[in-house]
């Protein structure tokens, strides 16, 4: 399968992407890909260093005739989101991504592809490896752990980089030039509940799956189904008769949850009512989401009865809290049309053996609105008696419409493609805002090839878009301003 990828155009880009995707690189487990990148830099004979948190920097001098141009930083993150379909057998810790070509798209077999941000990493590698591409002095910055906390960008100290311009290659629409992004904070509620003996009756496992999922920033505006909220509706319809034994919904903080599984026990005399309410609520959910989530399925199977279930008072408090907790768009930006300003993703819920955990990721391009959303969630969970922790704060990136590098990219894009680019801020978290704290004078811009379905097993990268993007990159490098 990798050979089909390696034969795609532009070959330098796809070959480096294939090399990279052979290396397991989950967030917070980047040791192998860090060593891979250090070995790559050393093999080219370039100055290569790893900073104290694990970021890798490779420095390449300007090509002949480009010595008078401003030095640039080309930046992408090494880690990737690990998501797979429930029926896919795959070990992200040991296996390379299994890719294939599907028309104009490159996809993976039942897993995330890693195009986010592997195509950016591969771009930089291809440029470092080339002896024919014209470019100014380059500092290639490969950060770690972007997807689960941006700790690489946070830990990058000032003074390591000398470049005046930063090209962040992490935007996912090829007609878009990014000039701003949202900040974020993790809101985590934890609590305990009384585990009581399960009543006599029948136990059932309810499996809700088949949702699209996706990026909890970029895709939140689409109104896609959230498996945790949907499952809660099924439980709420039966909150007096279906006694929860365990629940597991969602997996990653920055991915819209696609699946949820709960085990409940129903007393014998309540089974007919349970079946009726399940059918009614399932029908309502399928009808509501039939256009957005055609793959939604809800399966109920009889299973052996567990020993304990959640006490009724705790169960009602839990269901009410999840019902009241906001999910989705909280506020649209009044400054930029069509931009989500503030949102929340109820990303992961786990409940078992007397303990529960609810993980949310709140995003906003306005810090005060982010704080308001976090306070709203805190109030809801506090009323349920849970402990709430706020962590992983990272800042947004404020747009600078007078950016000199923005003007260069706008003119080049229009000249190459015969139309103006979409200059926009995004609701995702990019590392530019964090990097700008320690490098406040750096002129920053973000762009990239078209990638769809990031953070889900439906992730795919457009082949034709990669060709368009590669041409754009080469023109940008030739047109970096003189010092």
Catalytic residues: 79, 146
- Whether 375 contacts 174, CB under 8 Å: no
**Angle 323-324-326 (CA atoms, 0-180°, nearest 5)?**
100
Rg (CA), the chain: 24
Distance of CA 136 to the CA centre of its chain: 31
Which residues, 6 or more positions from 412, have their beta carbon under 8 angstroms from its beta carbon? 472, 475, 476, 479
Distance of CA 342 to the CA centre of its chain: 16
**CA nearest to 443, candidates 218, 127, 161:** 161
- Whether 22 contacts 80, CB under 8 Å: no
- Neighbouring-strand partners of residue 424: 178
- Neighbouring-strand partners of residue 195: 310
Which residues, 6 or more positions from 43, have their beta carbon under 8 angstroms from its beta carbon? none
- Whether 178 contacts 171, CB under 8 Å: yes
Distance of CA 39 to the CA centre of its chain: 27
**Angle 231-87-274 (CA atoms, 0-180°, nearest 5)?**
30
Which residues, 6 or more positions from 142, have their beta carbon under 8 angstroms from its beta carbon? 37, 55, 56, 57, 58, 75, 76, 77, 78, 121, 124
At 61 the three-state DSSP class reads coil
Instruction: Give the integer Cα–Cα distance in Å for 87 and 89.
Output: 6
Instruction: Give the integer Cα–Cα distance in Å for 116 and 217.
Output: 13
Strands 297-303 and 340-352: unpaired
Which residues, 6 or more positions from 342, have their beta carbon under 8 angstroms from its beta carbon? 329, 330, 331, 362, 363, 364, 365, 366, 369, 370, 372, 373
Instruction: Give the integer Cα–Cα distance in Å for 360 and 349.
Output: 9
Instruction: Give the integer Cα–Cα distance in Å for 477 and 293.
Output: 42
Which residues, 6 or more positions from 160, have their beta carbon under 8 angstroms from its beta carbon? 51, 57
Instruction: Give the integer Cα–Cα distance in Å for 152 and 157.
Output: 10
């Amino acid at each position: 399968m990798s050979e089909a990828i390696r034969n795609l155009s532009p070959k330098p880009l796809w070959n480096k992407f294939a090399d990279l995707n052979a290396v397991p690189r989950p967030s917070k487990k980047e040791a192998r890909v860090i060593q891979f990148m250090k070995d790559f830099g050393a093999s080219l004979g370039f100055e290569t260093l790893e900073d104290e948190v694990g970021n890798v920097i490779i420095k390449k001098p300007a090509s002949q005739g480009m010595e008078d141009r401003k030095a640039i930083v080309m930046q992408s993150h090494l880690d990737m989101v690990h998501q797979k379909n429930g029926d896919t057998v795959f070990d992200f810790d040991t296996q390379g991504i299994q890719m294939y070509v599907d028309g104009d798209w490159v996809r993976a077999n039942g897993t995330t592809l890693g195009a986010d941000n592997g195509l950016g990493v591969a771009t930089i590698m291809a440029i470092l490896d080339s002896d024919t591409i014209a470019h100014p002095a380059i500092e290639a910055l490969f950060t770690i752990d972007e997807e689960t906390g941006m700790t690489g960008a946070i830990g990058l100290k000032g003074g390591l980089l000398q470049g005046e311009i930063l090209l962040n290659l992490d935007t996912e629409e090829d007609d878009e030039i990014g000039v701003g992004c949202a900040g974020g904070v993790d809101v985590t509620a934890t609590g305990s509940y009384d585990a009581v003996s399960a009543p006599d009756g029948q136990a059932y496992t309810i499996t809700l799956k088949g949702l699209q999922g996706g990026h909890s920033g970029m895709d939140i505006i689409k109104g896609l189904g959230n498996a945790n909220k949907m499952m809660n509706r099924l439980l709420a319809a039966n909150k007096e008769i279906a006694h929860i034994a365990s629940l597991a919904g969602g997996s990653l903080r920055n991915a819209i949850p696609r699946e949820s599984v709960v085990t409940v026990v129903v007393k014998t005399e309540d089974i007919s009512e349970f079946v009726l309410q399940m059918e009614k609520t399932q029908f309502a959910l399928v009808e509501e989401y039939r256009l957005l989530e055609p793959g939604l399925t809800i399966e109920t199977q009889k299973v052996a009865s567990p020993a304990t279930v959640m006490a009724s008072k705790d169960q009602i408090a839990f269901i009410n809290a999840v019902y009241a907790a906001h999910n989705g768009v909280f506020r649209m930006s009044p400054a930029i049309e069509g931009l989500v300003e503030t949102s929340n993703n109820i990303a992961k819920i786990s409940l078992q053996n007397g303990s529960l955990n609810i993980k949310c990721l709140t995003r906003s391009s306005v810090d005060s609105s982010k704080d308001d959303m976090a306070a709203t969630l805190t109030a809801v969970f506090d009323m349920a008696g849970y402990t709430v922790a706020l962590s992983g704060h990272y800042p947004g990136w404020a747009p600078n419409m007078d950016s000199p590098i923005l003007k260069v990219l706008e003119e080049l894009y229009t000249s190459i493609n015969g139309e103006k680019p979409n200059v926009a801020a995004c609701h995702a978290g990019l590392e530019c805002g964090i990097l700008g704290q320690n490098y406040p004078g750096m002129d920053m811009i973000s762009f990239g090839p078209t990638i769809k379905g990031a953070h889900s097993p439906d992730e795919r990268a457009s082949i034709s878009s990669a060709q368009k993007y590669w041409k754009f990159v080469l023109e940008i490098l030739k047109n970096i301003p003189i010092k």
